[in-house]
Structure 1
Amino acid sequence: MAATGKSLANLLAQTSLDDHDEILKAANAAIKKSKADLVAQHAKAVALLKLDRFEDAVKLFEDTPAAQERARFEYAYALYKSGSAGKAVEIVEGHDSSRAMKHVLAQAAYRSENFEQAANVYKQLSSQHVQAEEYDIRINSGAVDAQLEWAGLGDLAQKKKPTREDLDVFETAYNAACGSISRGEFAQGEVCLRRAKDLCNALTDLSEAEKKAEILPITVQQIYVLTQLGRLEEAEQLLTSVPFSEIKELSTRYIAQVNSIAASREHSNPYLSHRLFHSSPKPPKTDHHFTFQTNLLRQNEYVMDLLSQKVTGVAHSTFKVVSNSRAPTTSPSVNTAAVLNTAAHARNLTEKAALKEILPLLEKRPNDIGLLLTITQLYILTNNHFAAAHLLESLFKRLEQSRSSYDLDVRYAPGLVATLVSLYAFQGRYSHSKTELAKAASYWRHKSKTTSKALMTAAGTALLESQNKESLKSAGEIFGALFEQDETDRAAIAGLVAAFSLTDPSKLSPELVDSLPQASRLISDIDATALEDAGVPALAASTLAQPESKKRSAEKATIGKPHKIRKSRQPKDFNPNKKMDPERWLPMRDRSYYKPKGKKGKRKMEGLTQGGPVADEKAAENKPAPGSGGGGGGQKKKKGKGKGGKW
């Protein structure tokens, strides 16, 4: 065995690094003599990796368990390249002390969609400065930031806006564009994509074929952005320049063909679009889509089926997804399937007619979040906001009563809380909004350190509007936690200063206050004179000099010609030249000029006056005279049974 290892080492020393076929032949010959030769097994594995035969390398390691421990790096890399990124992460974890292992771990974590782990590994790699790797780490970190945004973990992203250095190279410019698109900033994304194409075309070390291969994915992304911006003519024109067959990555080609249906006005026939959609090539395991892409593509498939009147099939397939999942859930794929299942049951009906069809489903699936949100939206469309809020309140009450940790996570999900708070705000129920936000913030503060920044900021802001000391204290704690996570967060700093200034000013450090922008800087570009000239109302001098307003007479207030009375409506003694009494519709006693006659009439009039003293005529007549002792003078009339005491 020692001789075999020595002969193989001599052979490897004599061969060139590019002659991997010869190395593989020599390794196979050595293994044929001794299958336990780990040196030969290791050499064969490296040769297979160099020849891009990743599945053969994985099979080699699985057939030889001893080689897995000897060549752990090569085994993990083979798993990653063969499409088993999750298993590669398991192999590397705990053995990532070397820099090479960390690189494999970061890439495998990224491909297995553990973006938080990938971001942490790249932070470690960037902290240990290696100039030769700086460029690659910057590119990969930008890709991780974009995926964190798409996965709903944008708070963990290192960059929120493209920097100048990101727009110096086409790879970083493309990743900056993806980051902008993931945040919904399509205009900024389109600018970055144009910059990436220009930088790629300007490269001198790439051939025209290589440039074309790099620009095609950028163009596919640009078509999507133009569609989202509503610039359909530009998207359709750009679409004609894309040769789908030349896109090497099948995952990108599949997305390009699907998006071409949405961007092109030629595919108006749903049946032809359905056929084109299903004719797109499916990518292999090594080039599969990310989860958020898969969910959108599946959603598009269901929509195409609905447009093609395949309602029963959509209802059946989506119900399988919903019934095989736990309810309630915040999973986008499950809830999207529930929404499309609801659409299939509605059968193209809208608003009240659709509600009539799908409300019976809620009795069978009361905790189906997708179904419940669809009904909420239909209630809003029919202006029944109270019913929409009551629906969410009932769900929250059920989930609170279950006391399950999983159910409580759903109950305080930021999206659901935001929906109910928006309904409260529309109805003017601001106290309910503050209470709901405070409860959600309190739950997540005690539940997890990584909470929704938007939810916590909204809750803290709402609590600051209260005059309650406990609420102000809670607001300070919320903004304090946000400040600990990110000391450059201006919203957290402003909230913290506002809370401490009301509760405990001694906690305000000068550095914290000075970190906020000065008021003079914020209003430096505001021209008060220009605002007044633009239409800001101002009090006239005559108004200030004469505080008492002048009443306009009825004659001056009359606009237009007087109404002409038809002859059939005119009384016999009608005189058109005589002015009619404007109070003729009122009873005589209610008219302004009515004057009662006699003592009884005047006394009665005083009793009828609103707010005036009420005089009982009989009581006045039977009232005992002064000095008579008040013995049993006038007898009061008894109240009837069951009367009196009620307003």
Structure 2
Amino acid sequence: MPAGNAQNIRSLLKQISIEDDETVLRVCNEALKRSKTDLHAQHTKVVALLRLDRYEDALRALDEYGDDMKRKASLGYSYALYKRGQLREAVEVAKYAAASASEDDERRGALHVQAQASYRAEDFANAATIYQGLFESPRALGNEYNDLRINSWASEAQRLWQRERDSARARKPEREDLETFETCYNVACASLARGDLKQGEILLRRAKELCKTAEDLPEDLKESELLPINIQQLYALISQGKTEEAEELVKEISVDDIPEISVKRIAQNNILITQHLNTNPYILYKTFHDAPEPEGNDQFFKFQSEALEANSHALDLEVQKYDGVIRSTTKALAQRPYPSTEPNDNLLSIYNAAARVRGQTNRKSIQELRSLLDRRPKDIGLVLTIVQLIVGEGNTTSAIDVLESSLRSLEESISEADQEVRYNPGLLSVLIALYQREGRKSHIKSELAKAALFWRQQTQQPPSLLRAAAASLLHSSDPADLAISQGLFSTLRNNNPGDKFALAGYVASYATSDLEKVKKELDILPRSQDLVSDIDAAALESAGVPQSQASLAANAAAIAGARKRASKEQQHARAKKRIRKSRLPKDYDASKTPDAERWLPLRDRSSYRPKGKKGKQRAAERTQGGIVSEDVSAKPQQPQPQQKTAASKKKGKR
């Protein structure tokens, strides 16, 4: 084709305005038949393919046209990668597109793609950072502003789901966030992720009402928007145990109308949970595994896939596929880090243990699991399973021994990963809860002090554990413990100056040793009079003073003792009633008090009075330790009669 004709086609493509993307694509193909190296036609064709949602064809064309076209169409290239599920590559290309963009609109578009790809790749911190930067730009106007609010709240909720963000520092919703159903829905998801199920359910109901009453939303779109809200509300109801309300809500969910396979699978899973009590487990198993798996960009997030995997193992146990569960979980655990505090890894250990003992929880099963623990002493999921079973039998001391033994093996290890597991906040909370049940206060302070010293040397410090350790050591009489508490409260205050708990603890820790150091902070704290100004002391007194745990325990022991004594008295009373009448004296009178000396012989009783002179004399003679009168002379001993001898018998009268 002559160069002049190719130039004419390029000029034509620049000048014409074609709204039909299929027509644009056809014109570009005709131009490329005449000149395969026409960059403008190549670029236009890629854009047309993207507008037609033919992302795979667009990627194929970009690979054919080479790296120069990929750089020229970097924004479209990153978007095509994102839509095809190649998320890491999409993030890198979008980052390049944003850096090399000549216009602000193009740069902002690339940042949106980078944030979306980061979100789908579960890099929620990066997505939140990008959205925050776009928020602060003065160009965030119109629909873009609403999209930024929606997407930023979605990133916040995901960070809470993945435990990447401390609940104490979670973002607080503003009034504007609760005025549209999209942002209200994402705020509700954040509440559910924090564990505030009741608040999440309330916000979901509000989001549903806002969606139903939205005037600018067509009815068909309302139905599609209500589906995810209903599915999330179903989860909230199930988690709260509101089975009847969940069963009613299921009637509003049409699984067949859900276009995304991932969302459809989650909806079906939640519906099966509401039906598991009334449905044959084999039918549940078949229905669960017949559902298709999502593909491409439509994928589960990590916490969703882990929950579905756990439900799959639970159904396997329901249909008694114990050997299969043992094989699959053992293979999966061999590929996971050991030891691990990840919830999914520990769930695998729990299902593995349940399959080995066939779902039994008796003492024989506990002994079998303890034998398994001897081979895997650092298996946290297995340790916690055994502890739970032993506590269920009421033997807290043995449960503490098992947990302490596993923690000791971790503490003796030279691996830094093992040390982090040893002082994991969740694991320590289990041990401290067991100590509290037995009143081992010194053990609690010792564990918190060791954990605090360990985490203060790490870059990533768990605020919840530091807060608990600082508060516990604050009440210690040991100066060393108080010094640790001072250091912890100082760290907490520096990390979050607005934390009132840290400020109050900081003041309290130095109040007895260096009051001048905290004089300035003391003035910031609210006065005690202001804190109790709205409290009705008379009403509190009339309602009664709540007792401490020690008082409650003492009262419980006293009540138990009283019941025990009452029980003995009742048993004694019942024993009295069982005496047969034939064994009672003829003159027995129940109204009279029995003689305490009735078991003694008559002459040994204090009421015995002998009759006659001889009787009184014999009584006096039997008196032990009594005074013997001197006028009573001893009688001479009567001689015994002599026996006659043989000689005397022969001797006759003279």
TM-score under structure 2 normalisation? 0.79
Shift of 1:373: 1.2
Shift of 1:289: 0.9
Shift of 1:35: 4.4
Which residue of 2 is the match for residue 114 of structure 1? Answer: 123
Report if the CA contact (8 A) 2:276-2:284 is conserved: no
Shift of 1:561: 6.9
- The correspondence of residues 130-529 of structure 1 with structure 2, limited to 5 A, is 130-132=139-141, 133-155=144-166, 159-264=170-275, 267-449=278-460, 451-508=461-518, 510=520, 512-529=521-538
Look up the SS of the partner of 1:437 in the other structure: helix
Show CA shifts across 1:41-64 (max 9, x none): 333322222221222223333442
* CA–CA separation in structure 2 for the residues paired with 1:317 and 1:370: 16
- The letter of the residue matching 1:506 is E
C-alpha spacing 1:482/1:107, structure 2 compared with 1 (3 Å): farther
- The letter of the residue matching 2:192 is I
Are 2:114 and 1:105 aligned?
A: yes
Report if the CA contact (8 A) 1:322-1:338 is conserved: yes
Are 2:92 and 1:90 aligned?
A: yes
* CA–CA separation in structure 1 for the residues paired with 2:9 and 2:420: 59
* CA–CA separation in structure 1 for the residues paired with 2:455 and 2:7: 62
Report if the CA contact (8 A) 1:186-1:229 is conserved: yes
Show CA shifts across 1:23-72 (max 9, x none): 33343344445544444333332222222122222333344233233333
Larger radius of gyration: 2
Look up the SS of the partner of 2:377 in the other structure: coil
Report if the CA contact (8 A) 1:258-1:280 is conserved: no
TM-score under structure 1 normalisation? 0.80
Are 2:36 and 1:23 aligned?
A: no
C-alpha spacing 1:477/1:17, structure 2 compared with 1 (3 Å): farther
* CA–CA separation in structure 2 for the residues paired with 1:526 and 1:70: 69
- The alignment's C-alpha RMSD in Å is 3.1
C-alpha spacing 1:54/1:500, structure 2 compared with 1 (3 Å): farther
Look up the SS of the partner of 1:350 in the other structure: coil
C-alpha spacing 1:155/1:561, structure 2 compared with 1 (3 Å): closer
- The correspondence of residues 586-597 of structure 1 with structure 2, limited to 5 A, is none
* CA–CA separation in structure 2 for the residues paired with 1:390 and 1:117: 43
C-alpha spacing 1:581/1:145, structure 2 compared with 1 (3 Å): farther
* CA–CA separation in structure 2 for the residues paired with 1:157 and 1:3: 68
Which residue of 2 is the match for residue 645 of structure 1? Answer: none
C-alpha spacing 1:573/1:198, structure 2 compared with 1 (3 Å): closer
* CA–CA separation in structure 2 for the residues paired with 1:147 and 1:116: 9
Which residue of 1 is the match for residue 79 of structure 2? Answer: 77
Q: Which runs of 5+ in 1 are unaligned?
A: 539-557, 585-596, 599-647
Show CA shifts across 1:338-365 (max 9, x none): 1101111110211423213322221222
* CA–CA separation in structure 2 for the residues paired with 1:575 and 1:502: 75
* CA–CA separation in structure 2 for the residues paired with 1:514 and 1:253: 57
* CA–CA separation in structure 2 for the residues paired with 1:254 and 1:4: 54
- The letter of the residue matching 1:49 is L
Show CA shifts across 1:177-232 (max 9, x none): 10111111111111111111111111222210011110111011111111222221
Shift of 1:15: 3.5
Q: Which runs of 5+ in 2 are unaligned?
A: 100-106, 548-568, 600-623, 626-654
Report if the CA contact (8 A) 1:4-1:30 is conserved: no
* CA–CA separation in structure 2 for the residues paired with 1:565 and 1:382: 38
Count residues in correspondence: 566
Percent of residue pairs bearing the same amino acid type = 40
Are 2:579 and 1:566 aligned?
A: yes
Look up the SS of the partner of 2:472 in the other structure: helix
Shift of 1:464: 1.0
C-alpha spacing 1:418/1:61, structure 2 compared with 1 (3 Å): farther
* CA–CA separation in structure 2 for the residues paired with 1:55 and 1:502: 71
Shift of 1:285: 2.5
* CA–CA separation in structure 2 for the residues paired with 1:508 and 1:237: 58
Look up the SS of the partner of 1:145 in the other structure: helix
Report if the CA contact (8 A) 1:473-1:503 is conserved: no
Shift of 1:3: 6.1
- The letter of the residue matching 1:19 is D
Report if the CA contact (8 A) 2:87-2:121 is conserved: yes
Report if the CA contact (8 A) 1:161-1:180 is conserved: no
C-alpha spacing 1:170/1:570, structure 2 compared with 1 (3 Å): same
- The letter of the residue matching 1:83 is G
* CA–CA separation in structure 2 for the residues paired with 1:259 and 1:529: 50
Shift of 1:303: 0.7
Show CA shifts across 1:268-323 (max 9, x none): 21111111212223222311110001000011111111111111111111111112
